[in-house]
């Protein structure tokens, strides 16, 4: 990890980068969405009021996954028929990047994977279909259409002008987890596993009434 300070091109406030690989961030003072081009920052949008959040996780929450420490440095917020969920962007102590999915007290850690073969088009992702990645066979368990609701903090790519998008969830017989993200022209594959909240050893959590 590294820290670098720039200035917001909209309001002039200092913008601190925790991760040197960040492509996008948000200004905590004026809510501008900022994209980095080499050493320059450009405003590409503005974060609307974010929906109420019942998660204790927040930016700069720290934890441990499989023996590696991480820090939460960004998030994407989605809304769907059953409510909303967060995709928290994690940076590990070896500078690798991952994601912590946080939906109605269910958690999963996953990582972007480059599949050996092209991913199926959306119309070929009916629940029950089997897909193999590496040596693991997954079954499509659900398709979720979600609405983008906002971003915070640092992300490894530009993500700010989205509307509705499709996510296809995968499960393997041995409990592994996957998602095919159709928010881009070329779909993205994320593979990982469900995790128990307590196993992450989280600290610097958000305190609010009703949270245990």
In tens, the pLDDT along 129-141 reads 999 999 999 999 9
pLDDT classification of 159: cutoffs 50, 70, 90:
confident
What pLDDT does residue 163 have?
80
Lowest-confidence segment of 12-21, 85-94, 170-179 by average pLDDT: 12-21
DSSP SS3 for 197: helix
What beta strand segments (E) does 81-187 contain? 83-92, 97-103, 106-113, 130-133, 136-153, 164-172, 177-181
DSSP SS3 for 190: strand
Residue 61 has pLDDT above 80, yes or no: yes
DSSP SS3 for 82: coil
pLDDT classification of 212: cutoffs 50, 70, 90:
low
What pLDDT does residue 3 have?
60
Asked whether 155 and 23 are in contact (CB, 8 A), the reply is yes
Query: Would you tell me which CATH number, out of the four given (2.40.10, 3.40.1440, 1.10.3470, 2.20.28), belongs to the domain 4-46?
Result: 2.20.28
Percent of the chain with pLDDT over 70: 96
Structure tokens given for 34: 């900022």
Single pTM value for the model: 0.91
Describe the strand order of the beta sheet including 40-46 as a list of residue ranges: 24-26, 32-37, 40-46
Per-residue model confidence as pLDDT tens digits over 13-50: 999 888 888 999 999 999 999 998 877 899 998 887 78
What is the mean pLDDT of the segment spanning 49-61?
A: 88
**Residue bearing the bigger pLDDT, 159 or 108:** 108
Query: 125 CB contacts (<8 Å, ≥6 apart)?
Result: 140, 143, 168, 180
Lowest-confidence segment of 7-16, 47-56, 195-204 by average pLDDT: 47-56
Q: What is the mean pLDDT of the chain?
A: 91
pLDDT classification of 209: cutoffs 50, 70, 90:
low
Query: What stretch(es) of the chain map to CATH 2.20.28?
Result: 4-46
Residue 74 has pLDDT above 60, yes or no: yes
Query: 150 CB contacts (<8 Å, ≥6 apart)?
Result: 47, 48, 50, 51, 76, 77
């Amino acid at each position: 990890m590294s820290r670098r300070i720039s200035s917001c091109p909209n309001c002039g406030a200092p913008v601190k980068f925790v991760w040197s690989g960040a492509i996008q961030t948000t200004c905590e003072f004026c809510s501008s969405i900022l994209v980095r081009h080499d050493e320059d920052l450009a405003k590409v949008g503005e974060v609307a009021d974010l929906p109420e959040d019942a998660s204790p996780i927040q930016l700069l929450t720290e934890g441990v996954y499989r023996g590696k420490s991480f820090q939460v440095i960004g998030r994407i917020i989605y809304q769907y028929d059953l409510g909303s969920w967060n995709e928290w962007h994690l940076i590990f102590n070896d500078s690798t990047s991952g994601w912590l999915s946080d939906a109605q007290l269910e958690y999963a850690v996953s990582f972007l994977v480059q599949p050996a073969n092209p991913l199926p088009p959306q119309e070929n992702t009916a629940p029950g279909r089997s897909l193999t990645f590496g040596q693991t066979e997954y079954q499509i368990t659900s398709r979720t259409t979600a609405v983008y609701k906002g971003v915070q903090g640092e992300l490894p790519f530009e993500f700010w002008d989205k509307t509705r998008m499709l996510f296809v969830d995968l499960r393997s017989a041995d409990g592994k987890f996957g998602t095919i993200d159709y928010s881009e022209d070329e779909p993205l594959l994320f593979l990982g596993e469900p995790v128990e909240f307590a196993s992450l050893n989280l600290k610097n959590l958000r305190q609010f009434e009703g949270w245990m």
